[in-house]
Amino acid sequence: MSATLKRSLGLGHATAINMIDMVGIGPFITLPMVIGMMNGPYFLYAWLAGAALSIVDAMIWSELGAAFPRAGGSYNFLKEAYGKNSAGKLMSFLFVWQTMIQAPLVIASAAIGFAKYFSYLVPLNSFTSKMVSGCVVILIVLLLYRKIEAIGKISVLLWSGVIITMFWIIGGGIAHGNFLQPVAHINDGLNIDYAFVTAIGFASVKTVYSYLGYYNICHLGGEIKNPSKNIPRSMFISIAGISVLYLMMNISVVSVVPWQVAKDSEFVVSVFIQNLMGSNAAKVATCLILWVAFASVFSATLGYSRVPYAAAIDGSFFSVFGKLHPTKNFPHISLLFLGGVAFIFSLLFKLSDVITAILAMRILVQFIGQGIGLLILRTKKNKDLFPYKMPWFPIPVYIAIAMWLFIFFSTGSKMIAGGLIISFVGMIVYFIKAKLQSDWPFKKIAEN
């Protein structure tokens, strides 16, 4: 009997996996970037914009994840929405094609961020920094090379470190006594004009990156208990919790380190703790931030390793990626490949470029593609197919699509061009493959 994925992850595991992927190194490295782009105390609006987009987009993920709880997440959603034997073949292929590039970028970004903050403890040059980030990726792959039941327990352990870190930062700001000052002055110098809209667009690219991961559990849909309830619940709990933590962390930091100083600090959270409690406490806090970054790489790699696997067992990708470990029942070939590519990326790229490239590459096919796909599915399928139904449908879908387009154009012309080129090359590869295999659109197949 062939090995199969087991539904072993409950709501607590699912929420922990989402939250550790969301937090990661993102909020610590993007905090000064966002302040610098907004250049004012109203930078908090960029974090609110990221939270708003996450909530409306999670409604789309919840409908699709609850209806199609299978390994691979978006791969299945796009295939079902656009037709399993028609355009869905192209859309799902493009998603996997992009995943083979952007998933290692996501993993590499967290590893590079880890090395960046590690240099607060031990000064690193360009070479040693790359060695640290590469070793992080290798260690993550080794930790993930085990049964999913053990993964769930490790996720909860890593999640506890995330929560401790965030609460320490927030508690430090509250104890300092000026916690509400940044909120009281949030509108100082604010003018709602073209410059503000442009700035919040660029800044939101960074904040949205920090929220990414609320949907990670959808990629593990085949391993979730009671998925019709636990998948939506885990996403909304994750977003609500992380949104509050992000806002409070930002407020806490700038209540101690003025935003004019924070925007130029590479280790702003470490500096924050140092100002409050001294250098030794700052080193401990930095270690906890590294814990959080490590947890993020762990969660992201876990989720993405299921995408090529799902496509392979469906016959739409190289069959070797469909193999499960004979005793541990996880897609080990997929894990090793993505980890290997992430290792190479962690040695080659800069962090700021990686963050922007991740979004530019994913928005059209995955996020906007899923929104449009849900609109199509709702007209074609019986409503009973969707255990979770978003309120006020289809308004949240239209809002999400509009916000994603805004973010897409805010990534800049170079990143837009790069994302479009990768998609275009993927389309060429698909049509060559389809021609050779007499698949859609070169062979008309009746829709199931």
Closest CA to 9 of 146, 151, 143: 151
C-alpha 373/C-alpha 397 separation (Å) is: 10
DSSP state of 313: H
SS3 content of the chain, % helix, strand, coil (to 5): 80, 0, 20
pLDDT of residue 448: 45
Q: Which two tokens stand for residue 250?
A: 């930002």
The CATH homologous superfamily of the domain defined by 11-437 = Amino acid/polyamine transporter I (1.20.1740.10)
Query: Is pLDDT at 360 greater than 90 in this prediction?
Result: no
How far is residue 46 CA from its own chain's centroid?
17
Q: What H or E segment, with its residue span, contains residue 432? A: helix 413-437
CB contact set of 26 (below 8 Å; sequence gap of 6+): 110, 113, 209, 210, 212, 296
Say what the pTM is. Answer: 0.86
Instruction: Give the span between the Cα atoms of 23 and 165, in whole angstroms.
Output: 11
Rounded Cα distance between 164 and 18, Å, is: 16
pLDDT of res. 42: 93
Q: Are 210 and 296 in contact (CB under 8 A)?
A: no
Burial readout 321-335 (b: 16 or more C-beta within 10 A, e: otherwise):
bbbbeeeebbbbbbb
What does the alpha-carbon distance between residue 205 and residue 104 come to, in Å, rounded to a whole number? 19
Task: Give me the pLDDT at residue 37, please.
Answer: 93
How much is the average pLDDT of 66-77?
A: 91
pLDDT tens-digit readout, 3-49: 577 888 899 989 988 888 888 778 888 999 999 999 999 999 999 99
| Element containing residue 173 per DSSP (H, E) | helix 148-176
Give me the phi and psi of 129, to 5 degrees please: -65, -45
Residues 173 and 328: beta-carbon distance below 8 Å: no
Distance CA 408, CA 205 (A): 8
Lowest mean pLDDT among 4-13, 193-202, 264-273, 438-447: 438-447
- Rg, Å, the chain Cα set: 21
Does the structure show a pLDDT above 50 at 104? yes
Delimit the domains of the chain by residue range. Answer: 11-437
What percent of the chain stands above pLDDT 70? 97
Q: Is the dihedral of CA 338, 341, 347, 350 positive or negative?
A: negative
Tokens encoding 59: 């409604």
Q: What is the pLDDT of residues 141-189, one digit of tens each?
A: 998 887 767 777 777 787 788 788 888 999 988 888 788 888 888 998 8
For residue 109, which of 236, 205, 219 has the smallest C-alpha distance? 205
Candidate from 69-78, 97-106, 151-160, 298-307 with smallest mean pLDDT = 151-160
Cα dihedral 53, 54, 58, 60, rounded to 10, equals 30
Residue-level pLDDT at 386: 93
The 10s digit of each residue's pLDDT in 317-344 is: 778 899 888 888 888 999 999 999 999 9
**Per-residue pLDDT band at 124 (split at 50, 70, 90):** very high
Query: How confident is the model at residue 3, as a pLDDT?
Result: 59
Residue 444: per-residue pLDDT: 58
